[in-house]
Structure 1
Amino acid sequence: MKVYGITGWKNAGKTGLMERLVAEICGRGLTVSTVKHAHHDTDVDQPGRDSFRHRAAGAREVLLASPYRWALMHELRDAPEPALSDLLTRLSPVDLVLIEGYKREPHPKIEAFRAQNGKPPLADRNDTIRAVASDVPHPDLSLPCMDLDDTAAIADFILREVGL
């Protein structure tokens, strides 16, 4: 599986870009999965649901299945967060895995950048960033800079980078 990331500061447009890229690349006939890293406590389950009650009772893993989807929830129970490389082995094979977040991991990335954040580009100090998708030009950067809203051009860049 090919792996490519989208990174950037909070509120830089990462999730919107990911959403558009998934639609664009799937629309080209390729299969895509995503990994989203959250720095905060997050839960896909809801209090009171049977699966939530199973986890609350102490289950290490709960697999929830329906005719439409299935989800496996794994409680770390004070174990360390797994490495991205370990998590990727749990995914079914696809053409491309897009990763949101994981700034410090070694996979190649595009930085989503919005000037309104008032923060400097991460690309200045992160050599895994191969290009910047921005709402303003960056003539001082030596990397390719694309319009944050030009999803097709960003998808073209990623697919060329990974050889798809």
Structure 2
Amino acid sequence: MSFASTSCPMLGIAGFSGSGKTTLLKAVLPLLTEQGLNLALIKHTHHDVEQDSPGKDSYELRHAGAAQTLLAGPRRSILTQEYPAGNEPSLQQSLALLHKPGLDLILVEGFRDEPFTKLEIHRPAHGKPLLCRHDPHILAVATDSSAVSAPVPLLALNQPRHIADIILQWLAEDRLTRVAC
């Protein structure tokens, strides 16, 4: 199944910290790739990240002053881009780093306030408000409670196969935000 064209569909997985965004993605990603989709993922964090270890050549060279370091290996490449303090990359800047030709879907965890189509993850026990009440880009809410009242359809958070099927349906219906490939 291929949906690739000159634009790539993009779906956000939005919710408050601890709601289960990453857990859901870990369950849904293999189900989507089983359908032949070529996926990319952008995960937003407000924390400083380090993917390398002190003493490794790439770590030492990056800390010696390289603004970008690309570690190219036989099975994967890792690009590290340094930003001045307080200059966190935007969603658009993050998208620009992806090699998008041939992608069927870009999934974005985070950037919940950006205007693009999203699936909200909501756990009422956390005491946080529903984002869909103020965000018209949210297509559905995946929740662990059937007592949630929302202006969009509810999905069972513990049924990743059904959620993957809904994402495939949204793809087929061209309901997702598209970005240039």
Counterpart residue number, 1:32: 39
CA distance in 1, matches of 2:120, 2:147: 12
CA distance in 1, matches of 2:46, 2:118: 18
For 1:158, the aligned partner's letter is I
Counterpart residue number, 2:158: 149
Segments of structure 2 that go 5 or more residues without pairing to the other structure are 1-7, 175-181
Q: 1:132 aligns with which of 117, 141, 161?
A: 141
What is the SS of the residue equivalent to 2:136?
Answer: coil
CA drift of 1:58 comes to 0.7
- Give the RMSD, CA atoms, in angstroms: 1.7
Report how many residues are paired.
164
CA distance in 2, matches of 1:128, 1:140: 17
59-68 or 30-39, which deviates more = 59-68
CA drift of 1:23 comes to 0.7
Matches within 5 A, 1:1-150: 1-78=8-85, 80-92=87-99, 93=101, 94-150=103-159
Segments of structure 1 that go 5 or more residues without pairing to the other structure are none
CA drift of 1:138 comes to 4.3
What is the SS of the residue equivalent to 2:26?
Answer: helix
CA drift of 1:99 comes to 0.5
CA distance in 2, matches of 1:19, 1:101: 15
For 1:77, the aligned partner's letter is P
CA drift of 1:79 comes to 7.3
For 1:82, the aligned partner's letter is P
CA distance in 1, matches of 2:47, 2:144: 27
Verify the 8 A CA contact 1:3 1:162 in the aligned structure 2.
Answer: no
What is the SS of the residue equivalent to 1:58?
Answer: coil
What is the SS of the residue equivalent to 2:31?
Answer: helix
Deviations 1:57-93 (A, max 9, x none): 1111111122121111111134733321232132223
CA drift of 1:25 comes to 0.4
CA distance in 2, matches of 1:77, 1:142: 40
Counterpart residue number, 2:168: 159
Verify the 8 A CA contact 2:141 2:154 in the aligned structure 1.
Answer: yes
78-87 or 133-142, which deviates more = 78-87
For 1:148, the aligned partner's letter is L
CA distance in 2, matches of 1:23, 1:120: 30
CA drift of 1:42 comes to 1.2
Cα separation, partners in 2 of 1:120 and 1:7, compared to 1, 3 Å:
same
Cα separation, partners in 2 of 1:82 and 1:72, compared to 1, 3 Å:
same
For 1:27, the aligned partner's letter is E
